[in-house]
Amino acid sequence: MAKKDLRIGLVGVGFMGRTHTNGYKRVSDFFPDLQTRPVLKAVCSRTAATVNAFAEQWGYETVETDWKALIARNDIDAVDICTPNNMHAEIAIAAAEAGKMILCEKPLSRTLEEGRQMVAAIEKAGVNNTVWYNYRRLPAVTLAKQIVDSGKLGRIFHYRANFLQDWTINANVPQGGQGTWRLDVDAAGSGVTGDLLAHCIDTAIWLNGSITDVSAVTETFIKERVHQATGAMQKVGIDDACIFHCHFDNGSLGLFESTRYARGHKALYTFEINGEHASMRWDLHDLNKLEYFDHRDESIVRGWRTIHVTDGDQPYMDKWWVPGLSIGYEHSFVHQVADFLKSLETGEPCSPTFKEALETQRVCEAVLDSAAARSWKNINAY
Ligand code: SOE
């Protein structure tokens, strides 16, 4: 049967533009049962030379230098937003009004208010949507979800997560500009809270349910940096590090830490869940493995076991090589495209939708407010 085309219009040609495009290019080869196939119809970025080079390298049919022109085209079905965070809301709202499906890079928005406007626009337009919290779709993380849902852990007591990096320790790293826009509060909205803890919060809510209240501390270690746009030394408005603890609705306690000042760590995302009967932990640096401890095992063999999540009956792995052979970071994006295409067939939403990702925005906003006010914040107030 001939497949239906989903004509993609990608906005933004940075690191995420590449990960998403790789997902579109690989998905039909590895998920042959899908009835829809992505077509790389158009890519958009402000500078003609840059966008032409990207289109040539990755195989986009056409280019645009104005995202409004991309959205106005009637040969685009879905808009993929890979821009800095300050453009997410404007593009998403315009794309929704134009009736396009939307795939938006995380975090959904800079602020909760922007996120709310995006959700309202999506709901009014009734268009398919998803937010790229890609780590959910690594097989070991999806397996963790299956294990939690099976009840094997029993009552959950603790959820712990870290996301540690070290790339901004040098005071000469500028704010603003390609890649380093993440240090510019106007472009990013926040620092590690929106960029890194948002991943941890998304996974935590997915695995362990809602967060009810938070108490946080943030720090900005380097107070001034040169801004690439002006060349002038400017105050830094983002959080360089953030630590918070919280309660979950299920009664468990959460502990989260993120920083870009943990020398030696490049992208150390880890989580651990401790339940009444069993515990699990996962580490992005060893992403195919899930560690599991079950107190109900016979005592003489009881201990942490390492599950190499590469077998055909484990999440997504029947689509790849043969049991025992690993996959990588980029596959999480292929899986998200596959799940999005599947959602078009089933009519089920592709999680996290904008509405679900707004939950993460509520927690992020409460975390930042809590740190500023040095007090607990209840998520219900957000
Ligand atoms: C920041 O360095 C970053 O690229 C985040 O923006 C991504 O979301 C994360 O997955 C890896 O780190």
**Mind giving me the DSSP string for 104-173?**
EESSS-SSHHHHHHHHHHHHHHT--EEEE-GGGGSHHHHHHHHHHHHTTT-SEEEEEEEEE--TT-STT-
CA of 106 to the centre of ligand 1 (A): 9
Residue nearest to atom 11 of ligand 1 (CA): 267
Q: Report which residue type is found at 124.
A: K
CA of 73 to the centre of ligand 1 (A): 31
Mean pLDDT over 40-60 rounds to 98
Mutating to test ligand 1, I would choose from 195, 259, 331 the residue with most ligand atoms within 8 A of its C-beta, which is 195
**Which of the four pLDDT bands, split at 50, 70 and 90, describes residue 179?**
confident
The answer on pLDDT for 318 being more than 80 is yes
Average pLDDT, the chain: 98
State residue 123's pLDDT score.
98
**Which of the four pLDDT bands, split at 50, 70 and 90, describes residue 103?**
very high
Tokens 């040169």 map to which residue? Answer: 226
Mean pLDDT over 304-313 rounds to 98
- Could you tell me if the CB of 72 is within 6 A of ligand 1? no
Tokens 């998803």 map to which residue? Answer: 130
Residue nearest to atom 9 of ligand 1 (CA): 196
Domain locations in the chain?
4-135, 137-378
Mean pLDDT over 21-46 rounds to 98
CA of 15 to the centre of ligand 1 (A): 9
CA of 168 to the centre of ligand 1 (A): 13
State residue 348's pLDDT score.
98
**Non-local CB neighbours of 231 within 8 Å, separated by 6+ positions:** none
CATH architecture group of domain 4-135: 3-Layer(aba) Sandwich (3.40)
The answer on pLDDT for 1 being more than 80 is no
The answer on pLDDT for 3 being more than 90 is yes
- Could you tell me if the CB of 325 is within 6 A of ligand 1? no
Distance CA 76, CA 339 (A): 20
Pick the CATH number of 137-378 from 2.40.40.20, 3.40.50.1100, 3.30.360.10, 3.20.20.70: 3.30.360.10
- Could you tell me if the CB of 267 is within 6 A of ligand 1? yes
Mean pLDDT over 168-194 rounds to 97
Nearest atom in ligand 1 to the alpha carbon of residue 106 is 8
The answer on pLDDT for 285 being more than 90 is yes
Rounded percentage of the chain residues whose pLDDT exceeds 70? 100
The answer on pLDDT for 195 being more than 90 is yes
**Which of the four pLDDT bands, split at 50, 70 and 90, describes residue 8?**
very high
**Which of the four pLDDT bands, split at 50, 70 and 90, describes residue 75?**
very high
Mean pLDDT over 2-26 rounds to 98
Residue nearest to atom 6 of ligand 1 (CA): 195
Mutating to test ligand 1, I would choose from 196, 199, 239 the residue with most ligand atoms within 8 A of its C-beta, which is 196
Residue nearest to atom 5 of ligand 1 (CA): 195
Residue nearest to atom 10 of ligand 1 (CA): 196
Distance CA 367, CA 361 (A): 10
What does the pLDDT look like over 231-242, one tens digit per residue?
A: 999 999 999 999
